[in-house]
Amino acid sequence: MMTHMMLDMLDMRSFLEEFSFAAAARGFSRHLLLETEDGPIIAWERHGKGPPAYLSAGIHGDEPAGPLAALRLMEEGAFPTDRHCIVCPALNPGGLILQTRENRRGADLNRDFNHLSCPETVAHTRWLSSRPVPDLFISLHEDWETDGFYFYEINLGADNVRRASGLLAAVSAHFPAELGPEIDGHVLRGPGWIFHRAEPDLPDSWPEAIWMAKRGCPLSFTFETPSKAALTERVAAHVNGALAVLMNQK
Protein backbone atom coordinates (compact mmCIF):
# COMPACT_ATOMS: atom_id res chain seq x y z
CA MET A 1 0.00 0.00 0.00
CA MET A 2 2.80 2.40 0.82
CA THR A 3 4.98 2.06 -2.25
CA HIS A 4 3.11 4.36 -4.58
CA MET A 5 2.92 6.94 -1.80
CA MET A 6 6.67 7.20 -1.44
CA LEU A 7 7.06 9.76 -4.19
CA ASP A 8 8.03 13.21 -3.09
CA MET A 9 4.52 14.40 -3.78
CA LEU A 10 1.67 13.32 -1.60
CA ASP A 11 -1.40 12.07 -3.49
CA MET A 12 -4.03 13.49 -1.15
CA ARG A 13 -6.86 11.27 -2.31
CA SER A 14 -4.87 8.05 -1.85
CA PHE A 15 -3.39 9.33 1.36
CA LEU A 16 -6.78 10.05 2.90
CA GLU A 17 -8.13 6.66 1.79
CA GLU A 18 -5.16 4.80 3.20
CA PHE A 19 -5.22 6.78 6.44
CA SER A 20 -8.96 6.18 6.87
CA PHE A 21 -8.50 2.47 6.32
CA ALA A 22 -5.62 2.19 8.78
CA ALA A 23 -7.23 4.39 11.44
CA ALA A 24 -10.57 2.58 11.29
CA ALA A 25 -8.74 -0.75 11.61
CA ARG A 26 -7.10 0.55 14.78
CA GLY A 27 -10.38 1.71 16.31
CA PHE A 28 -10.00 5.45 15.70
CA SER A 29 -13.07 7.54 14.96
CA ARG A 30 -13.18 10.22 12.29
CA HIS A 31 -13.96 13.87 12.99
CA LEU A 32 -14.36 16.19 10.03
CA LEU A 33 -12.89 19.55 11.10
CA LEU A 34 -13.31 21.42 7.82
CA GLU A 35 -14.16 20.70 4.21
CA THR A 36 -11.79 22.81 2.12
CA GLU A 37 -11.82 23.21 -1.65
CA ASP A 38 -8.77 20.91 -1.62
CA GLY A 39 -10.26 18.23 0.58
CA PRO A 40 -11.16 17.57 4.19
CA ILE A 41 -9.17 18.26 7.33
CA ILE A 42 -9.74 15.27 9.58
CA ALA A 43 -8.90 14.53 13.20
CA TRP A 44 -8.69 10.91 14.30
CA GLU A 45 -9.39 10.01 17.88
CA ARG A 46 -9.39 6.90 20.03
CA HIS A 47 -10.61 7.23 23.58
CA GLY A 48 -8.65 5.84 26.48
CA LYS A 49 -7.29 6.79 29.86
CA GLY A 50 -5.89 10.13 30.89
CA PRO A 51 -5.03 13.24 28.95
CA PRO A 52 -4.56 12.63 25.22
CA ALA A 53 -1.33 12.07 23.37
CA TYR A 54 -1.64 14.23 20.27
CA LEU A 55 0.30 14.05 17.00
CA SER A 56 -0.03 16.56 14.16
CA ALA A 57 1.49 16.68 10.67
CA GLY A 58 1.09 18.25 7.27
CA ILE A 59 0.54 21.85 8.33
CA HIS A 60 3.32 22.82 5.90
CA GLY A 61 2.42 21.45 2.47
CA ASP A 62 6.02 21.10 1.26
CA GLU A 63 6.83 18.70 4.10
CA PRO A 64 5.28 15.36 3.04
CA ALA A 65 7.34 13.18 5.40
CA GLY A 66 5.14 14.09 8.38
CA PRO A 67 1.83 12.89 6.94
CA LEU A 68 3.46 9.75 5.57
CA ALA A 69 5.04 9.04 8.95
CA ALA A 70 1.67 9.55 10.66
CA LEU A 71 0.21 7.00 8.24
CA ARG A 72 2.99 4.51 8.96
CA LEU A 73 2.56 4.98 12.72
CA MET A 74 -1.17 4.34 12.34
CA GLU A 75 -0.64 1.27 10.14
CA GLU A 76 1.86 -0.17 12.60
CA GLY A 77 -0.36 0.36 15.64
CA ALA A 78 2.15 2.71 17.25
CA PHE A 79 -0.36 4.74 19.24
CA PRO A 80 -0.72 3.42 22.78
CA THR A 81 -3.95 1.47 23.23
CA ASP A 82 -4.23 2.29 26.94
CA ARG A 83 -4.63 6.04 26.55
CA HIS A 84 -6.60 8.68 24.71
CA CYS A 85 -4.93 9.44 21.35
CA ILE A 86 -5.53 12.17 18.77
CA VAL A 87 -3.95 12.33 15.32
CA CYS A 88 -4.31 15.17 12.77
CA PRO A 89 -2.26 13.87 9.82
CA ALA A 90 -2.83 16.47 7.09
CA LEU A 91 -3.69 19.92 8.40
CA ASN A 92 -3.06 21.86 5.18
CA PRO A 93 -4.77 20.08 2.26
CA GLY A 94 -4.26 22.99 -0.15
CA GLY A 95 -0.56 23.27 0.60
CA LEU A 96 -0.07 19.51 0.37
CA ILE A 97 -1.65 19.49 -3.10
CA LEU A 98 0.29 22.55 -4.26
CA GLN A 99 3.47 21.43 -2.44
CA THR A 100 3.75 24.81 -0.79
CA ARG A 101 4.54 25.65 2.81
CA GLU A 102 1.53 27.97 2.90
CA ASN A 103 -2.13 27.22 2.26
CA ARG A 104 -3.79 27.97 -1.08
CA ARG A 105 -4.17 31.62 -0.06
CA GLY A 106 -0.53 32.08 0.85
CA ALA A 107 -0.92 31.95 4.63
CA ASP A 108 1.56 30.05 6.80
CA LEU A 109 -0.91 28.17 9.01
CA ASN A 110 1.80 27.40 11.55
CA ARG A 111 2.19 31.12 12.25
CA ASP A 112 -1.53 31.75 12.64
CA PHE A 113 -2.24 30.32 16.10
CA ASN A 114 -2.56 33.64 17.87
CA HIS A 115 -4.69 35.47 15.30
CA LEU A 116 -6.57 32.42 13.98
CA SER A 117 -7.26 34.25 10.73
CA CYS A 118 -7.50 31.15 8.50
CA PRO A 119 -10.48 28.77 8.28
CA GLU A 120 -8.09 25.82 8.72
CA THR A 121 -6.66 27.01 12.05
CA VAL A 122 -10.07 28.19 13.29
CA ALA A 123 -11.64 24.77 12.69
CA HIS A 124 -8.62 22.91 14.01
CA THR A 125 -8.29 24.86 17.27
CA ARG A 126 -12.05 24.87 17.84
CA TRP A 127 -12.14 21.08 17.71
CA LEU A 128 -9.01 20.63 19.83
CA SER A 129 -10.46 23.02 22.41
CA SER A 130 -13.45 20.69 22.75
CA ARG A 131 -11.11 17.93 23.91
CA PRO A 132 -9.06 17.52 27.11
CA VAL A 133 -5.68 19.26 27.03
CA PRO A 134 -3.06 16.76 25.80
CA ASP A 135 -0.12 15.98 28.06
CA LEU A 136 2.05 15.14 25.06
CA PHE A 137 2.20 16.85 21.68
CA ILE A 138 4.34 15.62 18.77
CA SER A 139 4.54 17.81 15.68
CA LEU A 140 6.20 16.51 12.49
CA HIS A 141 8.07 19.00 10.29
CA GLU A 142 10.94 19.25 7.82
CA ASP A 143 13.69 21.78 7.19
CA TRP A 144 15.18 22.61 3.79
CA GLU A 145 18.32 24.19 5.26
CA THR A 146 19.76 21.42 7.42
CA ASP A 147 21.52 18.09 6.83
CA GLY A 148 20.78 16.43 10.18
CA PHE A 149 17.80 15.87 12.46
CA TYR A 150 16.86 18.27 15.21
CA PHE A 151 13.90 18.89 17.48
CA TYR A 152 12.30 21.53 19.66
CA GLU A 153 11.27 20.54 23.16
CA ILE A 154 8.88 22.70 25.18
CA ASN A 155 8.75 21.28 28.67
CA LEU A 156 6.69 22.79 31.47
CA GLY A 157 7.25 19.80 33.76
CA ALA A 158 10.19 17.77 34.97
CA ASP A 159 13.41 17.87 32.98
CA ASN A 160 14.43 14.58 31.39
CA VAL A 161 17.74 14.46 29.55
CA ARG A 162 17.48 10.74 28.88
CA ARG A 163 14.25 11.19 26.99
CA ALA A 164 15.93 13.65 24.63
CA SER A 165 18.98 11.45 24.15
CA GLY A 166 16.71 8.44 23.57
CA LEU A 167 14.91 10.37 20.83
CA LEU A 168 18.19 11.23 19.08
CA ALA A 169 19.39 7.64 19.42
CA ALA A 170 16.17 6.37 17.85
CA VAL A 171 16.65 8.67 14.86
CA SER A 172 20.41 8.14 14.53
CA ALA A 173 20.10 5.17 12.15
CA HIS A 174 18.72 7.68 9.63
CA PHE A 175 20.24 11.06 10.48
CA PRO A 176 22.93 12.46 12.72
CA ALA A 177 21.88 15.20 15.12
CA GLU A 178 22.22 18.61 13.48
CA LEU A 179 25.16 20.39 15.06
CA GLY A 180 25.12 23.93 16.37
CA PRO A 181 26.08 26.09 17.87
CA GLU A 182 22.84 27.55 16.53
CA ILE A 183 19.92 26.38 14.41
CA ASP A 184 17.49 28.95 13.06
CA GLY A 185 18.68 31.49 15.61
CA HIS A 186 18.35 29.12 18.57
CA VAL A 187 21.31 28.16 20.73
CA LEU A 188 21.30 24.40 21.18
CA ARG A 189 21.12 22.68 24.53
CA GLY A 190 22.88 19.73 22.92
CA PRO A 191 23.36 18.38 19.40
CA GLY A 192 19.99 18.48 17.62
CA TRP A 193 18.17 19.76 20.70
CA ILE A 194 16.46 23.16 20.94
CA PHE A 195 15.06 23.54 24.44
CA HIS A 196 12.48 26.21 23.80
CA ARG A 197 10.57 28.32 26.28
CA ALA A 198 6.80 28.45 25.97
CA GLU A 199 6.90 31.78 24.18
CA PRO A 200 6.84 32.44 20.44
CA ASP A 201 9.98 33.59 18.62
CA LEU A 202 7.83 36.24 16.96
CA PRO A 203 5.14 37.54 19.33
CA ASP A 204 2.69 38.02 16.49
CA SER A 205 3.16 34.62 14.79
CA TRP A 206 2.41 31.63 16.95
CA PRO A 207 3.05 28.08 15.77
CA GLU A 208 0.82 25.25 16.96
CA ALA A 209 3.37 24.21 19.62
CA ILE A 210 3.09 27.60 21.35
CA TRP A 211 -0.70 27.48 21.25
CA MET A 212 -0.59 24.01 22.79
CA ALA A 213 1.78 25.19 25.53
CA LYS A 214 -0.45 28.20 26.27
CA ARG A 215 -3.39 25.80 26.57
CA GLY A 216 -1.42 23.95 29.23
CA CYS A 217 0.09 21.04 27.33
CA PRO A 218 3.18 20.37 29.46
CA LEU A 219 5.38 18.60 26.93
CA SER A 220 5.84 19.02 23.21
CA PHE A 221 8.32 17.82 20.63
CA THR A 222 8.60 19.31 17.16
CA PHE A 223 10.70 17.10 14.88
CA GLU A 224 12.60 18.53 11.92
CA THR A 225 14.00 16.17 9.29
CA PRO A 226 16.23 17.42 6.43
CA SER A 227 14.17 17.89 3.26
CA LYS A 228 17.29 17.38 1.11
CA ALA A 229 17.51 13.73 2.17
CA ALA A 230 15.54 10.82 0.70
CA LEU A 231 11.85 10.81 1.64
CA THR A 232 12.03 7.21 2.88
CA GLU A 233 14.71 8.23 5.38
CA ARG A 234 12.78 11.28 6.55
CA VAL A 235 9.64 9.20 7.09
CA ALA A 236 11.57 6.50 8.96
CA ALA A 237 13.26 9.09 11.17
CA HIS A 238 9.89 10.63 12.13
CA VAL A 239 8.43 7.19 12.84
CA ASN A 240 11.34 6.11 15.04
CA GLY A 241 11.44 9.44 16.85
CA ALA A 242 7.69 9.42 17.54
CA LEU A 243 7.86 5.83 18.79
CA ALA A 244 10.70 6.74 21.15
CA VAL A 245 8.73 9.64 22.64
CA LEU A 246 5.40 7.77 22.82
CA MET A 247 7.05 4.85 24.61
CA ASN A 248 9.13 7.00 26.94
CA GLN A 249 6.99 9.99 27.87
CA LYS A 250 7.56 9.87 31.60
Give the interface with Zn ion as residue ranges (CB under 5 A): 60, 63, 141
| Cα–Cα nearest to 142, from 175, 188, 116 | 175
Q: How far is CA 34 from CA 54, 76, 114, 134, 224, in A?
A: 19, 27, 19, 21, 26
Residue closer to Zn ion, measured from CB, 38 or 108: 108
Q: How far apart are CA 89 and CA 71, in angstroms?
A: 7
Q: Closest CB to Zn ion among 47 and 228? A: 228
Cβ 140 to Zn ion shortest distance, Å: 8
Residue closer to Zn ion, measured from CB, 30 or 105: 105
Least distance CB 224 / Zn ion (angstroms)? 7
Rounded Cα distance between 133 and 54, Å, is: 9
> Hey, what amino acid is at 194?
I
Cα-based distances in Å from 220 to 75, 143, 241: 23, 18, 13
Residue 62 CB, shortest distance to Zn ion, in Å, is 8
Considering the complex, state which of residue 134 and residue 207 has its C-beta at the smaller distance from Zn ion.
207
- Write down the least CB distance from residue 208 to Zn ion, Å: 10
